[in-house]
Structure 1
Amino acid sequence: MTEHIRADRADRVLVLSFARPDKKNAITLAMYDALTAHLAEAARDETIGAVLFRGDGTMFSAGNDLLDFAKVAGAGQVPENAPRFIDAIAAFPKPVIAAVQGRAVGIGTTMLLHCDHVLLTEDALLTAPFVGLGLVPEAGSSLLLTARLGHARAMAMFALGEAIDAQAALTAGIANRLVAADALDAEALTAAQAFAALPAQAFAQTKRLMRDGAALASRIAEENKAFGERLRSAETAKIVAARMGAIGAKV
């Protein structure tokens, strides 16, 4: 486990917090492992009725930690930490709620497509700038985000790094409601508790029926393969090295 993922209980709700605000809640490999372990335990634990994701500080998550990313790309490795988390959240049978403030980048955005109820602050911005890093979409987002936004707007996010604001996300059906920043945690917990009180088996069956699980699993596997190929590519290594150099120059 890692101190950068905090797990708290609020009655039947497991609250998982990105607790790395000094790094904009960028997700490390260890954080992915912790999230996956918590989801596996929550799926087994009958006393947990719902999971709530949130982030400390002013940003939900900046996505993958670029330093971890650079080490992986430089070594030509394809770690399974992030894919394991993606598989876990995609297959999780219980309600998943997200409370999102500020920026949500990469996996910070694509994980929302696997949530059952999403609250955004009015200043939230969602981005998925994969192509600019020499990568491809992940977490089934090439299927799920395109279904919500349409081809043109999804491509603008993936390829051009364009952001969608909170109102656009609400209109597209990525979010359920916009809330004030100072009310986000309380309203998200209230929603999570309402979901946790639902008949568990009926909810799980409804969630399964609402998605084509086989098609989604197939797309995620296809994305993972392409993502791994891109990680090993000279193109991606060059881009990430340049990004890391730019960060170092600012320190």
Structure 2
Amino acid sequence: MGDIRIEIADRVMTIILDRAAKKNAITDAMYGDIAAALTGAADDPAIGAILIRGEGADFCAGNDISMFAASASGESDIAKSNVGPFLRALSTCPKPIVAAVTGRAIGIGVTMLLHCDLVYVAADAQLSTPFIDLGLVPEAASALLIPARIGHVRSFALFALGEKLSGVEAATLGIANKALPAEEVAAAASAAARALAAKPLSAVIATKELMRDAGAIEAALTADRDAFIRQLATPEAAAAFAAFAARKGQPA
């Protein structure tokens, strides 16, 4: 699977973002592999829970910026990418999903957590959603789900001002269950996933379904996608990608 590793033990499927040199920024191929893994786990009676973590120091530095730049320049169509299948698989997965977050979580590295059922985060982690700085809008139904968790004003600061949350703040605000020393996060998340996988699966699935407004999330995902695609075509987005590429010494 390239930059995604899958491990299965004790009825838990672990999805590992394995692109540490790029801080686990997600490529189109990775989106496709994660979507396939989630879909397969949903249909596999031998899997009782799913754990997502990153390899190395960082959980996920967000979407690989080259995908946005290519779409903005007309070289590719993000509407035909694996992002949509990934978001559908993540948001509709009937089985419990646990996340282990260390280091940096940026963009989709934060918004995917809203679709996880348990989140364990390093106290010194940094969570940020700099969509507006790229001329874009929040995705993954986060404009619906984050305000529901932490309120409008704090959410707007997170989105519009680009304010960062520490792991401690994320736990205090309800985005994560616990903030722990970084070296304890993986073990805590793994233990929680194993505990979930040992419980009566039908009851866990039924409870998760009752707790989530599937219709509202689906509608928000559609609205996000449409707004995101519109923003990719704006001069502001093109300028932001060019500036980002210049800072990284890459072609825009």
Write the letter of the residue equivalent to 2:97.
V
Q: 1:143-162 alignment to 2 at 5 Å?
A: 143-162=144-163
Which structure 1 residue ranges, 5 or more long, are not aligned? Answer: none
> How far 1:232 moved relative to its partner?
2.1
| 2:58 paired residue number | 59
| 1:184 paired residue number | 185
- Between 189-198 and 77-86, report the one with greater CA deviation: 77-86
Alpha-carbon separation, structure 1, partners of 2:212 and 2:33: 26
Could you tell me whether the CA contact under 8 Å between 2:25 and 2:62 is conserved in 1?
yes
Q: 1:88-127 alignment to 2 at 5 Å?
A: 88-127=89-128
| 1:10 paired residue number | 9
Could you tell me whether the CA contact under 8 Å between 1:27 and 1:63 is conserved in 2?
yes
Alpha-carbon separation, structure 2, partners of 1:226 and 1:83: 14
Alpha-carbon separation, structure 1, partners of 2:159 and 2:82: 22
Alignment pair present for 1:227 and 2:241? no
> How far 1:183 moved relative to its partner?
2.0
Q: Deviation per CA, 1:25-68: give whole Å up to 9, x if none.
A: 00000000000000010001100111100001111000011123
Alpha-carbon separation, structure 1, partners of 2:198 and 2:143: 33
Could you tell me whether the CA contact under 8 Å between 1:101 and 1:124 is conserved in 2?
yes
Name the % identity: 47
Write the letter of the residue equivalent to 2:155.
A
Alignment pair present for 1:131 and 2:122? no
| 1:78 paired residue number | 78
> How far 1:19 moved relative to its partner?
0.4
Could you tell me whether the CA contact under 8 Å between 2:132 and 2:160 is conserved in 1?
yes
> How far 1:203 moved relative to its partner?
1.1
Alpha-carbon separation, structure 1, partners of 2:187 and 2:9: 11
Question: Cα RMSD over matched residues?
Answer: 1.4
Could you tell me whether the CA contact under 8 Å between 2:139 and 2:224 is conserved in 1?
yes
TM-score normalised by structure 2 residue count: 0.95
Alpha-carbon separation, structure 2, partners of 1:163 and 1:181: 18
Could you tell me whether the CA contact under 8 Å between 2:67 and 2:78 is conserved in 1?
no
Q: Deviation per CA, 1:165-214: give whole Å up to 9, x if none.
A: 11111111111112222222222111100011111111111111112111
Secondary structure of the corresponding residue to residue 75 of structure 1: coil
Could you tell me whether the CA contact under 8 Å between 1:78 and 1:232 is conserved in 2?
no
